[in-house]
Amino acid sequence: MRYFYYVHTGHRIGLDRFHRAVAIVNELQKEIDITLLCSDFRIAAEAKEYGIKRSVGVDLVRNIPQIAHHGDKMIFDSAEINPTLLTDMTQFFSSFIRITDDPSDTRHEKEFLISPYLEGENICNAVVIDARYFEPLPKTIPLALFFGDDDYEKDLEKHQEMFKPLNMELLMGFYHFLGYENSLKESFSTIYECELYDKVIQRSEILVSASPQAVLENLAGGGKPVFLQRPDYTKDFAPLFELLNVPIIDGYAQEQLMQGIKEASSQTYHEIKNSNTKVIEFIRKTFDL
């Protein structure tokens, strides 16, 4: 019997789920041998840089049974789910934990859930944020933008004029194309490479981001995030951000951006709790560790 964590990630969907996978797997691998399965082979290869001991790329979610065995245990972090797949997964794995961001989701009778919205039997109501982001570091970057780790259509380049008057600093995403930053130099005062992710997230006073996980990480460390709701992104996080008093900008309107930053400067944000211990204990109990 083996342990697996499957995460849906990639250049079209970003690394948000991967970041919380790192937070969970790094804790679990202290006591069990767990393999991270990534839907993106490049991220599977890079996972060791984040402390992950064992990671494997998976072409399709349906290929998981080619790696795992019947009776193994699984943590499943993906929206690639339907009733048939869910039934198959809960029958294949002896314990199946799913992480969901969907406020309208429901629990399958044979699965366990981790959700920021749902409560009840076999459900852990929590938000996963790596513990290191809760350290309140000095805020040396007044205003920054992190568009996200996915921008296949180069939407940031198309809409960069909305950010130009604000003299913002920019954190590049992991998947930006070679030379992409050259076209952005006139619109941002400073451009950071993706390797400086932690520095920018933790040290930004106000962070504008289309990455829900980056918003949560910045808030955890005492920052004042503003969520940029991209049209191509799910709106699953909107109810959570409303509860946390995080300003939300809907689309690429400069007027909304200015208003969101103004609100962030004077906003009283709700504190977000470090729920990692709660999540790990839920997993340990479910897996009988």
- What are the tens digits of pLDDT across the range 207-232? 999 999 999 999 999 999 999 999 98
With bands split at pLDDT 50, 70 and 90, how would you rate the model's confidence at 176?
A: low
Asked whether the predicted pLDDT for residue 128 surpasses 70, the reply is yes
Average pLDDT for 80-87 = 92
Domains along the chain with CATH numbers: 3-129+275-287 (3.40.50.2000), 132-266 (3.40.50.2000)
Average pLDDT for 128-139 = 96
Give residue for tokens 């409303």: 242
Average pLDDT for 277-286 = 97
With bands split at pLDDT 50, 70 and 90, how would you rate the model's confidence at 150?
A: confident
| Helical ranges in the chain per DSSP H | 16-28, 41-46, 83-92, 155-158, 197-203, 212-220, 238-243, 254-266, 276-287
Residues 6+ apart with CB under 8 A from 148: 14, 173, 209, 210, 211, 214, 230
Task: Convert the pLDDT of each residue in 189-207 to its tens digit.
Answer: 999 999 999 999 999 999 9
State how far the Cα of 84 lies from the Cα of 87, in Å rounded to an integer: 5
User: What SS3 string covers 41-72?
Assistant: HHHHHHHHHHCCCCEEECCCHHHHHHCCCCCC
State how far the Cα of 122 lies from the Cα of 54, in Å rounded to an integer: 28
Instruction: Supply the pLDDT for residue 5.
Output: 98
Instruction: Supply the pLDDT for residue 178.
Output: 60
Q: Which two tokens stand for residue 22?
A: 């790192």
With bands split at pLDDT 50, 70 and 90, how would you rate the model's confidence at 151?
A: confident
Give the percent of the chain with pLDDT over 90: 88
Output the pTM of the full model.
0.95
Torsion of CA 198, 167, 176, 132, to 10 degrees: 10
Distance of CA 268 to the CA centre of its chain: 23
Q: Which two tokens stand for residue 245?
A: 């008093």
Q: Calculate the average pLDDT of the chain.
A: 94
Instruction: Supply the pLDDT for residue 182.
Output: 83
Q: Among candidates 181, 184, 177, which has minimal Cα distance to 150?
A: 177
Q: Among candidates 273, 225, 230, which has minimal Cα distance to 250?
A: 230
Task: Convert the pLDDT of each residue in 47-63 to its tens digit.
Answer: 999 999 999 999 889 88
Task: Out of 7-21, 99-113, 127-141, 272-286, pick the least confident.
Answer: 7-21
Contact 235, 262 (CB under 8 A): no
- Name the helix (H) or strand (E) containing 76: strand 73-77
State how far the Cα of 207 lies from the Cα of 170, in Å rounded to an integer: 10
Distance of CA 165 to the CA centre of its chain: 29
With bands split at pLDDT 50, 70 and 90, how would you rate the model's confidence at 152?
A: confident
